[in-house]
Structure formats: structure tokens, C-alpha cells
Chains A and B, each alone.
Chain A
């Protein structure tokens, strides 16, 4: 056994606080160390050549690099030791920068600590054995979860690259929240006009399979080899037969809430959400249907000219394999009612959300594009917009900015002037955030062209007076209370994660924050990756963002997925669990705690039943290692004995 120790100076990053020459000298006296030296920049090209040359000269078979975190340069040095003819796993990185020089001031103390850490590294590498990476084939198909604009964009990008994609959407149509918008800032182009061509393209793309009314119920496997259970919910309508004529909807006697229109107007128990829905297929909601509640009706079945209605239809379960998963489950509006009792908590019909207002602005919406007061159907003259309802509001536990409120208020103010030339808009705002390309111009237009009156301050209370509403707030610029009597109040309600986002994250084994937005692997350098390999994020499921940002992120996620799917196979980590079958007592506590279902039972010739690790599933998390009572499970590369000897060295 011949170990080489290389102590990096990292310029002055390490050398200013740690005497690297002294560390190298101390290392020379450690057991089995045949060479030790201090290098100015070990990660530089000359530095690596120095390591390789020393390895050849001293016939080294193990290398310890005392430098920065292995997260920085482990692969750099693995490549170097391979060039020196050494197995890449016979390398140990000792972190004397982040964990030593950067956090200490006293040179003597830091040097002593660095020596201890190097001794621990030498102890671990002494117990190391050469390891070999395995290879697993990659399934060449992608799964996109969520059919809003982000999911659509990601699916189209991957499909255009020639790879098959399955898009799973839980609603009966794709389109997501963007389909509910009338116009989009900053260009004020019609949302449907730019979205629906993409929806149609997706529907007819030869590489895309669309599964609507479907949900991901379980995810197994790992990067390149996910096995996903998808439940296609029964809609009582045969997708193949339905022509989208909407006669069933017209004749259906059961009224139902209209979720697509955010509760403005009513829908039927069997319906198509909007005229451009893709697929253009009716869906029946059993909880509102007379046939299912009372047991008799059958109107839709009778009137359907295509014989597409089938009350007996059952949920279908599909299990499919995918190499990559893109999560694009979007957002919903924050449930503002409970948090804002001072705004009526939902009791005043003329206090509506911006999404409800959006549906009213839409020519294909429930009011045919007319702005009316929900209470009496009258056209409003004065309209008050409130920004930051459930955003930037510590008091209701939503401290973050919704990213889009300022812009869509400006957009809606401009549209209001177009719809109702005699109307007058007031906007209560905290700050106006209009920093995107072309955004400031929209804000100016709302003030100058549409004549919206911007008042800087929060609204304290809204209460009815006669058939009007009184909005009481502060204008912090004049430092006084203001009271506005108005016909309609529009709340710019902030973003919340889609319903069930946390549960989906747990199924996917990806991280999420306290608001159930999914967490990216690194906020700057890995913005579309999750902490689980092979699963990527797109759109507002990761945090509030507008359409341009969602689309850009979706394409980025697609690029990552394409990069993965274009490979034939992937290297696996050899650092997986291993069972010593001689001593396994067959208690299977390992299997109980394994998060990856990577442990199987196997009957041996001597009649004992023991645990075996499925190496392709094992992620090397070490839970089984800890749970095993006789500790016969070890982690390759990190065996108990290696760790014990490290600890012993540090404590010596």
C-alpha cells in the first residue's frame, strides 16, 4: 500500500491560514504514506500534472488530496488519478478549505486541524478498495406532468428533438391557467391566439401521447429508469367517439360550479371547459350529475349523437417507463378569503379576484366580454384594484412577491378603459415592479392612456354602503387616509402551489419549500434540476413566474431531459449498500427503512433467508446500514471500519 498526500495551497485561500508545508511534512510520517507535497494550485493543469508525475515516480496506489470540498473538484482529481493508472475511487478528498482555512484565524490551530483531517483521510483511503461503476440503460421516453404552457412547451421541445413524450394532465383539457387569461402583458396579445396553436400542435404531434383527466399516483425507480403509475380517471365519455358537439352540455339538467371560469357563471355536470379545449371532449363530473346522485337521468347518453357517453366507464391504471420526468404542475391562486376578513372574506359579491375579472374580460367568457358587477349585473363605473393580496404579506404568512400582479393590474386597467370608456380605475399598490422587457411601458400606459389613479398604500377595510363598496386605505405619499366609494373591487391575489403539490413531491421524492413550491437543486447554477436525478422543473410549480419565464424554464428543462434521453446508458455510483450474507439474520429491518425498495429477500441453500441489495435501485443513502442490528450491511467506499478509523484518527 503506497499513499500519496497532496496539500493544496489554493493560492492564499488555504496557505494564508494553514501551513501546507508543515501538513505535508506531518503526512510523510503517517502509515503507508510514501510521498507528500504542497502544491500551489492542485486543480490547475500543472498541479494535476504534478500529482500524476508523483504517482508514477513513487508508484502510488492511493491518493489523498487535501484541498477544497469534493463537490468542487472531486471529478477533476478522479480524472487525474485515472491518468496515473489508479482506480478513481482510491482517491480521498480532504476539505481543508471550507472546513478549515476559511473558518479559522489562528494559523497554528488551523494547521493542527488540517493535519488531523489529513490523518483521517489517510485512514479512510487505507481501507478503500477499487470500485467499478455499473451501467444502466436509459429509457428513451420523457414524462411531462402538467399541461399548462410550461408543460406544453417542454413536451413540444422534447418531441421536436425526436423523442417520445407522454404528457399527463389532471384536468380534461390542457391549457392550464394561461387558457383562462384574456390578454397577456406586455404586448397585450390575446392569450388564446398564442396558446391554442401550441395546444393543437401538441395534440397532433407524432411523438406526443396526451393523457388528460389523469394523475401520477406513484413513482418508482431512478434517473433513466422511472416506473410511473398513472391513473386515468373515468369521465364517462369515450374520448375516441366524442366529437365535441356540446349537445350533452346544452341538455344536461344538473348545474355545477364553473371552475374554469373561476366561479363566474355556472357550468353543467357534463361539459367542455372552453371552446378551444384540447382534446375537445366532454367530461362528466359524477359528484354533480343527477344520474349518479339520484340514480336516474340519462339525458346526455340519450342526446349524444356519437354514442360516446358511458356511465359504466372505470378508472384506468397505466404503468409506464420513462427516462426523464419534467414537473410542470403550475399554480393556483392563494385562498384569500380566510386570510382577509377585512376585505369581506368572500362575502361581498362585488369583491372579486383578478382571475375572475380576467374571465369577464374574455369574449368567450361567461359574460361574453362584458364587465359587470356580479351582484346586480350592472356595469361598474369605478373600479378599485388591490395589489399584493396574499403576496408580500408577512401577516398572512405569504412573504414572497407574486411576480405578475403589478403587470396584470396595469394590463387590466388598460383593458378596462377599452371596455368601459367612462370608467375610472384606482390602484392601491405597495411598489410597482415592472422590470421585465417592455413592462415599464405597460405601467406608464395604464397611468397615462388609461388614466388609472395609482395610490401607494395598503387597504385596511372594505365594507358595503348601499349598493356600493367603500374601500378604506392609506395613501402613504400624501400621508393620509383615503376612502373610495366604488362599484367593483378586484384583488390581485398571489400565487399558491397547485393543489396536492406537496403530495406529488413526496411521490416523486423531490424537495419542496414551506409553500409547497418545488425546490431547484441550486438557485443559480442548477435552476431546473431537482435534488433527484432525472427529474426537472418547469414553470410556476417552482415559484411564481410569468409566461415568458415559464416558457424559458420549460425549454431549459426540456434541454436537460433531451441531454439525458439521448444517452444509451448511464453510469451508476458504485457506492451502494452491500450485505454480508454470512452474518445476515434475516430480520429485514433494512427493507422496512429503505426509501427506494432496493432490498429483496433471497433464500440461500442452507435454508436461511437473507437480504440482498438490488444495486441498480440502491442510491447509497445508508439507512439500511444504520438499521441493521448486527451491522452486516455496509456502504461500499464508506464501510463502518473506514469511518471508525477516520474517527479514531481525529480523536487520537
Chain B
């Protein structure tokens, strides 16, 4: 970890703060931290418990020079933010870290107890001192990760231990099952899921691309697309608005789903939409810093449906 501390310390010469992770004394897992001094930077860590996508903070730090530690998936968020001109690439020092996948802490804690001791070297996972199978305890997104290495960075720290995880987990099975459903079955499925939504807006707050924040359309009367009540009808509306607003912009970091306290499988919907848009528009959000997102461009010559 010396390398990471050194990189953060070096970045601090140029930046007023660096976003990274430190160890949470209560659980022993990583938690987001703002490093502002070389002394404080000594606490910086990166391991499989550093699940958060810190890019969510960048739009709120406009006009300031900041550093940020990113995993491969987080880097895609930074790229998409630059593409959408929310973040100027020049004012951000990107410190990339090699990642072997991060853990589904909720699942581990539910099974083995909150704050249980976790040791992980990228290949072997020890929970409470005994070895457990690593792959099923990774976040869904990590089990079929295509972005383990950061695509943009100013400096890279550490490499990956293993090759990428085998890209097949239960999420694929769920997705395949979902694809086999008829449209009305899908609607019923999502109505059941959204009926559990408590409108806490954690999904929105955790999403790096939801930078409207407190002027969000989910919470306004003008225009009155969704009412303020907490009920299945309004929840369905706000969730569908959120999915629509992320069309062609979602980088698949999975933070909405991780943040959801009632565990709605939001990424299932997002990933299906991402897949459809990639097929239709040949655009994968957050992979090309020079890109002009097709849904944010006026181009009458573009033929979305081929040469029909």
C-alpha cells in the first residue's frame, strides 16, 4: 500500500484533496475518505472491501483541483462525466488501482456477522479466519467484469493478482430468465420489485451520473411527472424516469443497486438497457473520452435502424 500512499501524497502537491478509501474502525472494511494532507494519506488503503464509486463526488467539487482513486469501473464513470462536460479532465488527477473484484459485504455480513474479519489477496478469501469460495461473494458486476483495468489514469498503483474473474454468475442466469419473460410478465416482475421502494433516493445519491441532485425531477411539482407520495404507483414512475434518464449514460458501476436498502435488482434493468443501446447505437458509456454520446447529439443523418 506504500505505493498508493505515495501516489496520493504526490497528488496532494497539486490538488486540494484526494478522494480515496481508509479503513473503517467499526467494520474493518474500506470507507470513502477525503485526504487533504500527507500525514492523513498514510491511512489510505485499497482492497476488496473498497466497494464505493468515488466518482459520485466529482460533480460536486466543480472548479476545484482534486485527485481520485479509481477502480476500472469507477474510471468509466470519470470518463462519462468528462464526456458530458461535468468534469474537466485537466482538473482531476486520476490514480488507477488494479482490481480483482470487490466483495458483496452485505451478503458476507449477513452470513458471517457484521464487521467480521475479512482477509483477501485477490485469489484467496478468508472470512473470520477460514477460507471461503471467493467468486460467489463478489459484487454482481465483478463476476462479469469487462473493465478491471482503468481506461484513464495519470498514475497506476498495483496490478491485478488474478486474471479477470470468470464472466458468469447468477446475474446472467437471472438476465436470461428475464429475457424469456413476456412483456406483461416483465411488467408484473418490476411492479412487484418497485412496490418495495421506499423512495429514499439512495440509488440516485450513489449514482455518479445523477448529478442533478436536489433539483431532480423526481421531487418537483413543475413539471409534475411524479407525485410525492410513497406508493407503488409513484415508485414505478420515479424508477422508470431514472432508468430513462440514464439511457446511454449508465456505466454499469452498480452503485444504485448496492445502495438500495430494500435490494431491488436495479442493475438488471440497467444492464438490459445498456445492452440494447449498445446494440442500437454502438455506444458504451464511459469507454471513450472523445465520444459524443448519440442521445445527446443532434444528428439528423444518423440512421438508428440500419439501412431499412
Is B231 positioned at the interface, with any CB of A under 8 Å from its CB?
Answer: no
Is B37 positioned at the interface, with any CB of A under 8 Å from its CB?
Answer: no
Contact (Cβ within 8 A) B217 A629: yes
Interface residue from A583, A593, A595, A644 paired with B296 (Cβ < 8 Å): A593
When chains A and B are docked, how far (Å) is the Cα of A192 from the Cα of B222?
Answer: 67
Instruction: Please list the 7 inter-chain residue pairs (A to B) with the smallest Cβ-Cβ separation, ordered nearest first.
Output: A640-B223, A583-B215, A630-B212, A630-B215, A593-B298, A631-B217, A595-B298
Is B216 positioned at the interface, with any CB of A under 8 Å from its CB?
Answer: yes
Contact stretch, chosen from A342-350, A454-462, A535-543, A584-592: A584-592
Could you list 20 examples of A-B contacts with CB < 8 Å?
A506-B301, A580-B222, A585-B213, A585-B215, A587-B86, A587-B211, A588-B85, A589-B296, A592-B296, A592-B297, A595-B298, A623-B298, A627-B296, A629-B245, A631-B220, A631-B223, A640-B225, A641-B222, A641-B223, A644-B224
When chains A and B are docked, how far (Å) is the Cα of A585 from the Cα of B209?
Answer: 13
When chains A and B are docked, how far (Å) is the Cα of A354 from the Cα of B176?
Answer: 63
| A588-B85, A629-B212, A630-B216 given; A639·B297 CB < 8 A | no
Per-residue contact bits, chain A 46-81, to B (CB 8 Å; 1 contact, 0 not): 000000000000000000000000000000000000
Q: Which residues of B lie under 8 Å from residue A362 when comparing CB positions?
A: none
When chains A and B are docked, how far (Å) is the Cα of A639 from the Cα of B245?
Answer: 19
How far in angstroms is the closest Cβ of chain B from A594?
7
The B85-111 residues at the A interface (CB cut-off 8 A) are 85-86
Contact (Cβ within 8 A) B85 A587: yes
Is A632 positioned at the interface, with any CB of B under 8 Å from its CB?
Answer: yes
Per-residue contact bits, chain B 204-243, to A (CB 8 Å; 1 contact, 0 not): 0000000111011100101111000000000000000000
How far in angstroms is the closest Cβ of chain A from B1?
37
> Across the two chains, which residue of chain B brings its CB closest to A502?
B301
Q: Which residues of A lie under 8 Å from residue B217 when comparing CB positions?
A: 629-631
Is B288 positioned at the interface, with any CB of A under 8 Å from its CB?
Answer: no
Contact (Cβ within 8 A) B298 A632: no
When chains A and B are docked, how far (Å) is the Cα of A276 from the Cα of B136?
Answer: 85
Is B25 positioned at the interface, with any CB of A under 8 Å from its CB?
Answer: no
Is A634 positioned at the interface, with any CB of B under 8 Å from its CB?
Answer: yes
Is B183 positioned at the interface, with any CB of A under 8 Å from its CB?
Answer: no
Q: Which residues of A lie under 8 Å from residue B212 when comparing CB positions?
A: 585, 629-630
A-B contact count (CB 8 A): 52
How far in angstroms is the closest Cβ of chain B from A609?
10
Is B300 positioned at the interface, with any CB of A under 8 Å from its CB?
Answer: yes
| A588-B85, A589-B296 given; A644·B225 CB < 8 A | yes
Is B84 positioned at the interface, with any CB of A under 8 Å from its CB?
Answer: yes
> Across the two chains, which residue of chain B brings its CB closest to A632?
B215
> Across the two chains, which residue of chain A brings its CB closest to B62?
A586
The A606-652 residues at the B interface (CB cut-off 8 A) are 623, 627, 629-632, 634, 639-641, 644
When chains A and B are docked, how far (Å) is the Cα of A592 from the Cα of B293?
Answer: 10
When chains A and B are docked, how far (Å) is the Cα of A639 from the Cα of B224?
Answer: 10
Q: Which residues of A lie under 8 Å from residue B300 when comparing CB positions?
A: 506, 595
How far in angstroms is the closest Cβ of chain A from B204?
11
Contact (Cβ within 8 A) A592 B245: no
How far in angstroms is the closest Cβ of chain B from A246?
43
Per-residue contact bits, chain B 2-31, to A (CB 8 Å; 1 contact, 0 not): 000000000000000000000000000000
Q: Which residues of B lie under 8 Å from residue A593 when comparing CB positions?
A: 296-298
When chains A and B are docked, how far (Å) is the Cα of A629 from the Cα of B215?
Answer: 9
Contact (Cβ within 8 A) B223 A639: yes
Q: Which residues of B lie under 8 Å from residue A592 when comparing CB positions?
A: 296-298
When chains A and B are docked, how far (Å) is the Cα of A589 from the Cα of B298?
Answer: 10
Q: Which residues of B lie under 8 Å from residue A583 when comparing CB positions?
A: 215, 220
How far in angstroms is the closest Cβ of chain B from A544?
25
> Across the two chains, which residue of chain B brings its CB closest to A625?
B223
Q: Which residues of B lie under 8 Å from residue A629 when comparing CB positions?
A: 212, 217, 245
Contact (Cβ within 8 A) A585 B211: yes
When chains A and B are docked, how far (Å) is the Cα of A580 from the Cα of B217?
Answer: 13
When chains A and B are docked, how far (Å) is the Cα of A297 from the Cα of B216?
Answer: 70
When chains A and B are docked, how far (Å) is the Cα of A594 from the Cα of B297?
Answer: 8
A580-B222, A585-B213 are known; give 17 further A-B pairs, CB within 8 A: A506-B301, A585-B212, A585-B215, A587-B84, A587-B85, A589-B296, A592-B297, A595-B300, A627-B296, A629-B212, A630-B215, A631-B223, A634-B223, A639-B223, A641-B224, A644-B223, A644-B225
Per-residue contact bits, chain A 96-117, to B (CB 8 Å; 1 contact, 0 not): 0000000000000000000000
